[in-house]
Each structure stands twice: as C-alpha cells, then as structure tokens.
Structure 1
Amino acid sequence: MQLEDGRTQGTPDDGIAHAISRINAQLDLLSARFVGRRALLELIMLGLIAREHVLLVGPPGTGKSAAVQSIATAIDASFFEYLIGRFTEPSELFGALDLDALKDGQIRPVTSNMLPEAEIAFLDEIFLGSTAILNSLLKILNERTYRRGQYSVKTPLLSCVAASNAMPEDPLLAAFADRFLVTMFVDPVGENELPDLLKTGWRETGAGAVPIAPLPKSLFASLHAAAVAIDMDEVTEAYAHIVRKVRLIGVVLSDRKLVKGQTLIAAAALLRGSRVAGPEDLWPVTYLVQSRSQQEEVRELLHVELQHSRNPVLSNSVADATYGPTAHAAALAEQAALLLESRPALPTDPLHERWLVRLETMQTRIDAAFDRTSLPQQLRPVHASIESLLARHGPAAAGAAAEDGPREPA
C-alpha cells in the first residue's frame, strides 16, 4: 500500500532510511579494519541505537578494546574508557572531590572528562571493580544518574560497553552483569581468516588507520526515537513463546531483561527498514543469555522460530545469533570441501606441506566440535577423506616412511 508521500506502509521515512544507510556504510568501513569482528561492531551499534549496554566476554588479544575504541571515534560523542583493576579507586572513574566545595562542607566531585559526562563508555575488566565502583555504576547504567552523597547529576550515557575475560562465578557479580542487556562471547579469529587477519593487521600497522568521518549524535537520537515508536504488537506472542521455550531448558532471564529485550527487537526491526517488528527481528533474544553453553543451546532450540531472521545492516550478528550445531556442521563441511579441492597437484609442491597443516587443523576443529560417534551426516565424507589423506601424507605417515625407507608417491 502506497502512502501519500510515496512510501510503502510500514517503511521508515526518507530521513530515517538515510540514517540507516549511513549506519550500514559506517559499519562497512569499520569492519574492514577488523577481520571477523563485524558482528561485534554491529551489536555495539545496536546497543547505541537502543541505548542499552553491551558485555563482551573473551580472552585477551581478541580485539575487543580496539573495536570499541574504533567505533567510538567514528561517532561524534564524548568517550570515556578505563582498564579497571582490583585497586582502582572510584575517583579514577567518577572524578576526585572538588576541594573548594569541600571547604564549604559540600561533597561535589569534579566530573569533567570522567565517566559521568561520557556519552559512550568502555570499561575493561569490569568485574574487577570494587563494591563502591559497581554500586555507583549500577545507578548510571540503570537510571543514567550519578550520585555521591547529596550530589546527584543526570548522565548523557548512550551505551556502556564492558569487557571481561570470563563471566563471573560470584552471584553478586552475576546480578550486576545482568544490567548488560547484550552479551557476546568473542573468540580468536578462525583458521580460515588468518591470512586476512595478518594482511589487515600489517596494513594498519604500516600506513596507520585512515580516519573515518564521525557520525553525528543527532543521527542516533533520531534512530532511537524511531525505534521506540516501532509497532511491537505482531511479535508479542511469538516473543513470549520463545521465552517459555528458553526457560524450559533452565535459562534464567530476569523480567527486567525480557522487557528491555524488546528495545533490541524494535531497533533491529528499524534497521531492517520496517516500522513494524516481525518474526525476522526476534534473533536478539540469543544475546540476552549470559552463558556461552546456553547461548549454543538457545540457537539450536529456537531453530524453527529464528529460521526467518534477517537484517541487511546486522547480517553477521543475525548469523551468529541463529548459528546452532546444525549450521556449524554445514559450515565446517563447506570449508573442509573447499580445503580438499585446493590440494596441490604434487606432493613435492612447497605448498603441499602447508596444505597438510591446514588439513590437520580442520580435522582438529571438527573433532573438537563433534563427537566421533555422533558426527553429523554432512561431515562424515569430508572427515573420512581428511583422515585418509593424513594417514598417507601426514606427520605420522612421514615418520613411518623414514623408518621403512623410500616409497613410491601416492
């Protein structure tokens, strides 16, 4: 149905459509700097539009800090970052006391360039913070208010991105972690992406990162206003059904998180180019779960409900959200088949040894992901081919050949 201004019913107006196009273009520029990190960048951008907080969990050296710093510089907003340690003082984040005010009997911190004045924040090793730090953070995360004694001020925070090497086991810290609506588990770049990682890293090191023109804050304000106006009626029952299924496998999602989860669904619908949320936009529910193993269970459990998920701007995070063991097996089978096809013609080819190393790595990836007795059907033929080739040409075969003397090439 055409509206009077020429738009199709349910689509955003031209101004919002242009803003979405700019978000997508910015993500393209940013993801070119970070191999295998498009989904991470997409989720941070989603958090900024929804004005929700994002938790990144993964080992050191996986690019979490660099990605957040890069996206922060690509937005015209004040940015605060800090690496928290066990001995970090609250004043290092929130500002030291104003001594002049203290002489007059007033408790007032100097918050200039500190967390209370930040629009985007990045807090590394978040769970190492003291009780005093975490309590002050709670007020900022939940209510966008910083309070110290009688002093209270509203903060302009759009989104706080936090990082940690692992999820906390302490129940009190787990309760604090629940304030982060989006949780993403970040792994090192996969074996297939290593050449791209090395090339990109070397290019950025040599020439330096080319500056990206920052997006204005007003663009995010417009998108946020449009997101909260999204019609959610069509997905309310479907969302409730998903929550019931997830709870049946023991996943705990607080009422607060479930209600706020709708902001992610609405923002996803907006970035898909719609003013009405549909089944395609329910995929963010995967990122509400704060356990790596349970996220995998949810992906597989909701295979039917999330099979129609799509988003032209957030394509990689959609793929990760709906990527269960079945899809993982299919991807491994495809990668293994391509690797087998790339076999050098002659064993004497210098590239043959490198190819064997990659073949061994692929076998390790398959064996790590699936038990041999329950190997998915699509993986069985390529796994058998890899085993056969490694038995004939791998290190063990080479050692046996050295003991037995020269043999005719296979």
Structure 2
Amino acid sequence: MNTSTAFRSRLAALLATLEQGLVERRHVVRMTLLAALAGEHTLLIGPPGTAKSELARRLHRAFRDARYFERLLTRFSVPEELFGPLSIRALEQDRYERHTDGFLPDATIAFIDEVFKANSAILNALLTLLNEREFDNGAGRQLCPLVSVIGATNEVPDDEVGEAFFDRFLLRIPVSAVSGDGFAALLAAGCADEWTPPADALLLGDEDLGAVSNAAQAVRLPARVVCLLAELRAHLADEGAYVSDRRWVKTAWLLRVAAAAEGRDQVGPWDLLLLPACVAPDAGRQAAVADWLLARLGVRAGFAPERLSRVVQAFQAQLETEQNASDLDYDESGRLRFSAPEAMTEKAEELAGVIGDAKGGAGALRMNYSRRRRYGPAHIAARTGQIDDLLARIAGYAEELAAERASLAAARASTLWLDDGLLAALDARLADTAAVIAGLAERACDARRGFDNLPRLSAEEAARFSDLPEPVEHEPLA
C-alpha cells in the first residue's frame, strides 16, 4: 500500500472513533497516534483523573493484533513488575534471564503511569528499551515489538537520570481538567453508552507503519521550513533552553511522518505548529514557543508591519518637510541660487516691498518675505515614482498574505494533526497583519497625492532647473 487518499480517510475515521466520548481531548488523541506512527513516545503531564490511561488503552485498540501493557509505578516498584520474573530454570543453569511474555518487552503499546516514581535501576533499563527497542535479558539482547509508550506524570523530573528518561519522550503534552465550557459535555459523556472500538477495516498493521515510514523518507523539508527551524533553535538557545540534536532530528522525522500520513511530499510551514510539544517541556514554555511561531508563520520579516510603518513614515516626513519649505528662489532642488545679475536685480525688486525699519524707523532693513517652495516635474516625478515602487511592493506582499491565508484555510480544513485553536489564532494574526498592511498602503497613497499636489514651478522656471532630488532614505524591504 501507499499513503494514498484512502489511507488518509482511514486515519480520519480511526481518529474520530478514538475521540468518541472524550471531552476536550481531540488534540491529545491525535498527537499520541501521530507519535505512534512515527515510532515515538508520548508523555502526558497532568493530574490524575484526566483520561490519560483511557487514551493509552484506546491507542492500543487502533492497532491490529497489538499486545498491551500497563503499570502504575511507585518508589517501591521492582524490575519484575515491568520486565517479568526471573527464570528459575535459567538460574539453575547459571543464567540471569527473565520471562518477558506479557510484560513490557513483549508489548506493542504500553502505558506507564507515574513513570518518574520508578527507581534509577528501572529507568536505566527503560532507556534502552524505549530508544533501541531492545531489552537486555541475560547475556543477550531481546528485540521488542514496541511501537509506542505513553507515559504519565504529575511533575517533570529534575535529576540527571530522570532528565535523560524525560528526553526519550518526543511529545510532552500537558493534560488538564475539562474546562467550564466542557463540563456539561463531560457529564453527558459519563452517562453515554460504552465506547465502541474501531472496526477491523480501520485498524493499523505492520504494513501500514512500514508504508508511512517509507513515504516519510521521501518527504522533503523545504528551505523555508529549515530556516524557521534554525531560527527557533537559535531563539531557544538564547533563552537558555537546551534541546538536544537527537530531539531536533526526531522532530524533523515527526514532521515528515505528519506530512506523509496526509499524502503530502513535503513539510509545510503550518506543520511547524506541532513543534511546541516537541521542543518545550511544559505548558508555559510551550505557549511561549507557540507565540514565537504565530508571530512568524505566514509573514515575511522584511515586510513586518513595524518596518513597513517606518518606511511610510519616512515618506510622510519628507512630504511634510517639502510642503513647509520656504524659498527665496524656485530651484526644484531647494537651493537658493541667483544665476545672473539680472536675477539678482529681479529678486531685489521683488523684495523691495517687504523691507522695513527693524526698529520702526527709516534707514534700517528688515526682511519679512516668505514664500512656499515650488517644485519642478522632475522632482515630483521622482518622489511619486519612488512611492509607486513602494505601493507595488506592498500590493505584491498583500497578495502573498492572501495566498498564505488561503493555504492556511485549506490546511485547517484537511489536517489530521494540527490543533484548531492554534490554527484559528494564526489566521487571526494574519488577518490583523493584512489589515495593517492595507492601512499602510493607504497612508502611502496619501503621501503620493501630497507629493503630486506640491506647489509647482512654471514651465519657464522648470526649464531652467532639472536637478533630481536624492531618494527618500528608508529601511530596505526584503
């Protein structure tokens, strides 16, 4: 098989079945299944009684012939509880081996509750099992059929062994109690009929996992996506948040699997909304990463509203300067110039009527002459031409924003994995950006009209002066 439209439809139906009766758990269900498709593990962080174990049991029912293992750990737990009892017959033969049938090394899907309450001996054994899918049993290593482990905890560890184990869970998903808005639905769901597992036709088998893996290997990471990943990595490093290279590689694989499962041949920018649960350990820091992404996805830094506003302001300031400029000569470049004695005579005669006694008496000269500067067609054409270029670039960017919003709407309508709340927030930000850009375009148009209406030199005066003004200086727009 391949990851065709039919497979995508199967996944959509499977997810709908898994979510049935679970209130405000849509995103968690989808993330746990995506992690399983990618061969990764999920850690659910939250208080008891928030359906964490139910999520794991349902995930197990999504796979054909899957073996399920579940255990609640305490500080008194011993390895036998997870890995099986020691073999008496092997001990008689001086071998230290365990009977693993029915225990974690034999499981396809596993749920380990209060996972960080285990002692370091158990956690160290789990490190290899989760990462390598192998279990050290006696003198050899036993291959394990493990697809995915769901761990649950109330708190994030702060010791070295716990942190190493914490890093083995690619997805760290906070799970909180149902909100006030969902409380009535929660009570209604508690009175509903028992959940019906997925139909056999929807179940995933080894051939499905293999097909998704093969398709994901061919999925491309476009330069735009790689650039954003690199920017986020640098941002997190600046914030003092360490994300291991292994985690970045696994995150990129998860993005490829998400795209492949939907039948796409490349990772899209919207897929990066999956990143918070991969690169941040808790709800607060995941929200910060989400905000960072929302501010950058779908927009170009070179056309950020703040930068574009400064560009428009530069033209407005230049317009105000030229509108308020006074002139003793009507040189379009704004320089006082008397090019010939005749001009000096003409100017002196022009000023004669505005000369008076500075002290109110005769004989002293006082100039109170003032006239708005006038500009030639070359000057005005240079200014309006520069704004026309700016307006053309703004219009092009507005079209680009519209295309990004259309792409986002299409992704929102078809995605299997992305959180609709984040998608809605991103669309709102893009809409706000589009409105700001439209307002700045109107301001630029007003400035153009202002330049076009500047006082003009007569045709005869304009013929004498043809100096072009220096372009208005402003920040470059990428």
How high is the TM-score relative to the length of structure 2?
0.61
Distance change in 2, residues 1:211/1:260 (3 Å)? closer
Question: What does 1:8-407 correspond to in 2, within 5 Å?
Answer: 16-76=4-64, 77-203=66-192, 207-214=193-200, 215-217=203-205, 218-234=207-223, 235-288=225-278, 289-306=280-297, 310=411, 317-319=418-420
1:401 corresponding residue in structure 2: none
Amino acid of the structure 1 residue aligned with 2:14: Q
Structure 2: distance between partners of 1:260 and 1:18? 27
Contact 1:38–1:316 (Cα < 8 Å) also in 2: no
Deviation per residue, 1:257-287 (Å, 9 max, x gap): 1111111111121234311112122222111
Q: 1:49 Cα deviation (Å)?
A: 0.8
Deviation per residue, 1:184-209 (Å, 9 max, x gap): 00111111111111111110xxx322
Q: 1:42 Cα deviation (Å)?
A: 0.3
Q: 1:35 Cα deviation (Å)?
A: 1.0
Structure 1: distance between partners of 2:215 and 2:120? 37
Could you say what secondary structure the match of 1:52 adopts? coil
Contact 2:3–2:215 (Cα < 8 Å) also in 1: no
Q: 1:327 Cα deviation (Å)?
A: 7.6
Structure 2: distance between partners of 1:29 and 1:159? 19
Ranges in structure 2 where 5+ consecutive residues have no aligned partner: 299-403, 430-478
Deviation per residue, 1:230-276 (Å, 9 max, x gap): 12244322321222223323322111111111111111212343111
Could you say what secondary structure the match of 1:216 adopts? coil
What's the Cα RMSD here? 2.5
Distance change in 2, residues 1:170/1:59 (3 Å)? same
Distance change in 2, residues 1:314/1:171 (3 Å)? farther
Could you say what secondary structure the match of 2:151 adopts? strand
Deviation per residue, 1:384-403 (Å, 9 max, x gap): xxxxxxxxxxxxxxxxxxxx
Could you say what secondary structure the match of 2:9 adopts? helix
Distance change in 2, residues 1:95/1:320 (3 Å)? farther
Could you say what secondary structure the match of 1:200 adopts? helix
Q: 1:14 Cα deviation (Å)?
A: 6.2
Distance change in 2, residues 1:151/1:59 (3 Å)? same
Q: 1:85 Cα deviation (Å)?
A: 1.2
**Larger Rg over CA atoms:** 2
Could you say what secondary structure the match of 2:136 adopts? strand
Structure 2: distance between partners of 1:99 and 1:327? 65
More off after superposition, 75-84 vs 237-246: 237-246
Deviation per residue, 1:42-73 (Å, 9 max, x gap): 00111011101111000111111111111212
Contact 1:121–1:159 (Cα < 8 Å) also in 2: yes
Q: 1:216 Cα deviation (Å)?
A: 3.1
Amino acid of the structure 2 residue aligned with 1:300: D
Amino acid of the structure 2 residue aligned with 1:36: E
Distance change in 2, residues 1:311/1:159 (3 Å)? farther
Deviation per residue, 1:159-214 (Å, 9 max, x gap): 111000121233431222011111100111111111111111110xxx32223225
Amino acid of the structure 2 residue aligned with 1:298: V
Distance change in 2, residues 1:285/1:137 (3 Å)? same
Amino acid of the structure 2 residue aligned with 1:73: R
How high is the TM-score relative to the length of structure 1?
0.71
Structure 2: distance between partners of 1:91 and 1:283? 40
Amino acid of the structure 1 residue aligned with 2:253: T
Distance change in 2, residues 1:321/1:134 (3 Å)? farther
What is the identity percentage for the equivalent residue pairs of Structure 1 and Structure 2?
33
Structure 2: distance between partners of 1:78 and 1:226? 26
Distance change in 2, residues 1:320/1:116 (3 Å)? farther
Distance change in 2, residues 1:156/1:316 (3 Å)? closer
1:5 corresponding residue in structure 2: none
Structure 2: distance between partners of 1:255 and 1:14? 30
Amino acid of the structure 2 residue aligned with 1:210: T
More off after superposition, 306-315 vs 158-167: 306-315
More off after superposition, 66-75 vs 256-265: 66-75
Contact 1:50–1:227 (Cα < 8 Å) also in 2: no
Contact 2:108–2:147 (Cα < 8 Å) also in 1: yes
